[in-house]
Amino acid sequence: MPVYFGFDIYRKVPKDLTQPTYTGAIISVCCCLFILFLFLSELTGFITTEIVNELYVDDPDKDSGGKIDVSLNISLPNLHCELVGLDIQDEMGRHEVGHIDNSMKIPLNNGVGCRFEGQFSINKVPGNFHVSTHSATAQPQNPDMTHVIHKLSFGDTLQVHNVHGAFNALGGADRLTSNPLASHDYILKIVPTVYEDKSGKQRYSYQYTVANKEYVAYSHTGRIIPAIWFRYDLSPITVKYTERRQPLYRFITTICAIIGGTFTVAGILDSCIFTASEAWKKIQLGKMH
């Protein structure tokens, strides 16, 4: 004799879910398309790397020895290369005139102008570096400081598509129409930036904001020799970008929720339509009798 138990997690399927209808077919097709759309959307989000940013107060690159690498590329189309030099000063007492290490001067316009490219380091304290004629053996009477800045960047180069920051804020700055005898002051606020990829490897770069002014300076002895000044200060705030990918368990949970939720809502909708249809048929039969 068969034995029956009162406990059963599988309930009887209601009639409206077993009887095929055109409405049910349409709802089923729409559900499948909707589930497919949400599944592809979630799959794209799961595959795509998410970049999360945060702010904190700290010196991220403690192994740098208190130094920041700088890359400068600037053209002065109306100043001879033998007159162009780079000077570096800071609040730690550094005063270097005519820095030449890791630098290159390329003549422009048949030797009339010069393109200066240099890589150097600065201390992590307020200071300045400037392009001028101060290191020349003989100072010109009217040096032309009109220029174009091709690149000014600090730290490692970050080539990440999802990170749009001011890592080369002065790139493309054109001062060719300025007063040739004017000095240029670029006031930089440098913000340490850390980028950490999925493997945990970190790269250290620096974003910066810039304000600038142009002026002709005079003293009691006459006009002061113009220069292109880059005065910098460091922000105590560090920006950190971290690559993250959605965990697999969260992806699976979301897919299950999509499938279960869609079919539940579709079942309720189909049940309502079926019940209304049956009631309408009964009303119509009642009218006929």
Across-strand partners of 131? 86, 228
Range scoring the smallest mean pLDDT among 9-18, 41-50, 95-104, 172-181: 9-18
DSSP 266: H
| Residue 19 predicted with pLDDT over 80 | no
Q: Tell me the percentage of the chain whose pLDDT exceeds 70.
A: 89
pLDDT band per the 50, 70, 90 thresholds, residue 11: low
- Residue 181, judged by CB atoms within 10 A of its CB (0-12, 13-18, 19+), counts as middle
- pLDDT, average across residues 55-76: 88
Longest dimension (CA), the chain: 121
Across-strand partners of 186? 212, 230
Q: Classify 233 as helix, strand or coil.
A: strand
- Residue 10, judged by CB atoms within 10 A of its CB (0-12, 13-18, 19+), counts as exposed
Residues 79, 137 contacting (CB under 8 angstroms): no
- Average model confidence (pLDDT) for the chain? 85
pLDDT for 254 equals 82
pLDDT band per the 50, 70, 90 thresholds, residue 287: low
Predicted TM-score (pTM) of the model is 0.72
| Residue 52 predicted with pLDDT over 80 | no
pLDDT for 59 equals 81
